[in-house]
C-alpha cells in the first residue's frame, strides 16, 4: 500500500507486467487491423530474407549502441530511462526479455510504421507525425520527456528505414532486437 505522502505508483508484479504487455500488444494489433479495414490501406510489405534480417539486426544493435551512449552522457535521459526500465523490467525474469522484444516490437511496428505512417504519408510529415505518436506512447508522465524524445528519434529512424527499403520486416527486427538486447543488458547489469 502506498503512503499518502508519497504519490508514487505501486510497483507491478511480473504477471501484471506480462499481462499489460500482452493486452497493449493486442490493442495495438486491433487498432492496426481496424485502421487497415476502414482506412482502405494495405499493410506495408514484409520481405523476410536473410539479408533483411541482417539489416534489421544491425540497425537494432546500432540503436542499442546509440541508446547506451545517450545513457552514459545525458543524465536527464539516464534518470528517465532508469525510471521507465525499473518500472517495466525490474519485476521480469531473464526469459521474459523474449516477450519484451517480440510483443512491443511486432505490435508497435505494425501500427506505427505499417499502418499509421502510410496513412499519413510516406513523406517527412508522415515520418515525423507517426514518430511523435510513437514517442508519446513511451511517455508515462511529464518527467519522462527525455525518454519520449528518444523514442521519437528511434521512431524517425525506423520510419525512414521503412520508407527507404519499402520493407516493414526490417524495422520490426530492429525494434525486437533493440528491446531484447537493451532489456537483457539492463537486467544483467542491475541484477534485478
**pLDDT tens for each residue of 45-89:** 899 999 999 999 999 999 999 999 999 999 999 998 888 888 889
Three cell numbers at 35? 485502421
Q: Is the pTM of this model over 0.85?
A: yes
User: Does residue 2 sit within a domain?
Assistant: no
Q: Is 161 inside any structural domain?
A: yes
In a domain, 1, yes or no: no
Q: How far apart are CA 149 and CA 77, in angstroms?
A: 9
Q: Answer yes or no: is 20 within a domain.
A: yes
DSSP summary character for residue 139:
-
In the numeric block, the cell 532508469 is attached to 82
| Residue whose cell numbers read 499489460 | 20
| 4 found inside a domain | no
**43 has pLDDT over 80:** yes
Block residue for cell numbers 528511434: 154
Decide if 9 is inside a domain. no
Query: How many angstroms separate the CA atoms of 57 and 49, rounded?
Result: 12
Number of structural domains the chain divides into: 1
Domain that holds residue 165: 14-190
**Contact yes or no for 35/106 (Cβ under 8 A):** no
Amino acid at each position: 500500500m502506498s503512503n499518502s505522502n508519497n504519490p508514487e505508483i505501486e510497483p507491478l508484479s511480473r504477471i501484471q507486467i506480462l499481462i499489460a504487455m500482452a493486452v497493449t500488444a493486442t490493442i495495438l494489433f486491433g487498432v492496426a487491423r481496424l485502421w487497415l479495414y476502414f482506412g482502405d490501406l494495405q499493410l506495408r510489405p514484409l520481405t523476410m530474407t536473410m539479408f533483411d534480417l541482417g539489416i534489421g539486426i544491425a540497425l537494432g544493435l546500432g540503436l542499442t549502441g546509440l541508446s547506451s551512449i545517450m545513457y552514459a552522457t545525458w543524465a536527464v535521459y539516464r534518470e528517465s530511462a532508469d525510471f521507465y526500465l525499473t518500472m517495466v523490467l525490474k519485476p521480469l525474469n531473464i526469459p521474459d526479455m523474449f516477450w519484451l522484444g517480440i510483443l512491443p516490437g511486432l505490435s508497435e511496428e505494425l501500427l506505427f510504421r505499417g499502418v499509421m505512417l502510410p496513412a499519413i504519408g510516406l513523406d517527412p510529415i508522415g515520418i515525423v507525425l507517426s514518430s511523435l505518436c510513437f514517442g508519446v506512447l513511451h511517455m508515462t508522465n511529464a518527467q519522462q520527456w527525455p525518454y519520449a524524445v528518444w523514442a521519437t528519434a528511434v521512431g524517425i529512424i525506423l520510419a525512414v528505414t521503412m520508407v527507404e527499403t519499402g520493407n516493414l520486416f526490417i524495422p520490426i527486427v530492429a525494434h525486437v532486437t533493440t528491446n531484447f538486447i537493451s532489456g537483457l543488458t539492463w537486467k544483467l547489469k542491475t541484477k534485478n
